[in-house]
């Protein structure tokens, strides 16, 4: 028995304000039903003795520790800037806002 009917698809399309032809509704109902069947078959295989996984290969954190190191002073950072104002980089405006 089909889990997703043509009427279900038509209702969802209406809620999402998506215009669909009769042929599209029929095709989408079949495609969604195949997806639901595939998920159901996976759910049947996965039992309580099968641990849940989010990734087939174990992942490890590759980030380094967040340690404050030697940083530039404000003057050093601005030393190569083509233009500066009030201790900040000055750049051309790209929006017509104040």
Rounded distance between C-alpha atoms, residue 58 and residue 28, angstroms: 36
The predicted structure's pLDDT at residue 31: 93
Domain at 6-45, CATH from 3.30.60, 3.40.720, 1.10.20, 1.10.150: 1.10.20
pTM flag (> 0.95): no
Residue 85 forms beta bridges with which residues? 88
Model confidence pLDDT, tens digit, residues 3-62: 888 999 999 999 999 999 999 999 999 999 999 988 888 877 777 777 777 788 888 888
Domain coordinates of the chain in residue numbers?
Answer: 6-45
Model confidence pLDDT, tens digit, residues 55-85: 888 888 888 888 989 999 999 999 999 999 9
């Amino acid at each position: 028995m089909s889990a997703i009917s043509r009427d279900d698809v038509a209702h969802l399309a209406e809620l999402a304000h998506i215009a669909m032809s009769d042929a599209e509704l029929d095709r989408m109902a079949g495609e969604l039903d195949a997806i639901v069947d595939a998920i159901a078959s996976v759910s049947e295989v996965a039992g309580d003795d099968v641990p849940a996984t989010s990734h087939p290969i174990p992942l490890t954190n590759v980030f380094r520790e967040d340690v404050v190191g030697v940083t530039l002073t404000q003057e050093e950072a601005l030393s190569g800037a083509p233009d500066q104002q009030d201790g900040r980089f000055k750049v051309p405006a790209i929006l017509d806002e104040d």
